[in-house]
A = this chain, B = another copy of it.
Amino acid sequence: MANIYDHAYDLEKAIRNSEEFTSLKEAYEAVMNDEAAKKMFEDFRQTQVTLQQKQMQGEEISEEEVEEARKVVELVQQHPQISKLMEEEQRLNTVINDVSKIITKPLEELYGNPEEPQQ
């Protein structure tokens, strides 16, 4: 009989050996090995996390913070290595989301997928 954990480890290995993951790894290491890029990327991530936390806690986000975040995004988008990293992250995320949808399909079928009642 098929064992869930065996299949999970096979899948993990397939992800690890995939072109998507190895490209992400290369892009991540290229940024981490460049001090200026590393700092810019970490600032960007920190800004994202801070804004997300405020949003989740229903805190007000000031115009200055929005403007600051916009500038940081613009900076990283113009940085070739960081924008490459973000592209590779997006690519692997798509795969991981697909995988997640595939493996939770049995549960979705069982519980159905009714629209949330709007009110």
Contact = CB atoms under 8 A, between A and B. Distances in A.
Contact of A2 (B2, B10, B57): B10
Given A106-B16, A110-B28, A99 B4 contact: yes
Query: Taking each of A11, A12, A14, which has the highest tally of chain B beta carbons within 10 Å of its own beta carbon?
Result: A11
A6 B11 CA distance: 9
A82 interface: no
A105 B95 CA distance: 15
A98 interface: yes
Interface string A27-71: 010000000000000000000000000001110000000000000
Contacts of A107: 21, 92, 96
A contacts with B: majority SS = helix
A94 to B, nearest CB: 11
Interface of A: 1-18, 20-21, 24-25, 28, 56-58, 92, 95-96, 98-100, 102-107, 110-111
Given A4-B15, A15-B103, 4 more contacts: A2-B14, A8-B11, A11-B102, A15-B106
Q: Closest 5 interchain pairs by CB?
A: A2-B14, A7-B11, A8-B102, A16-B106, A8-B99
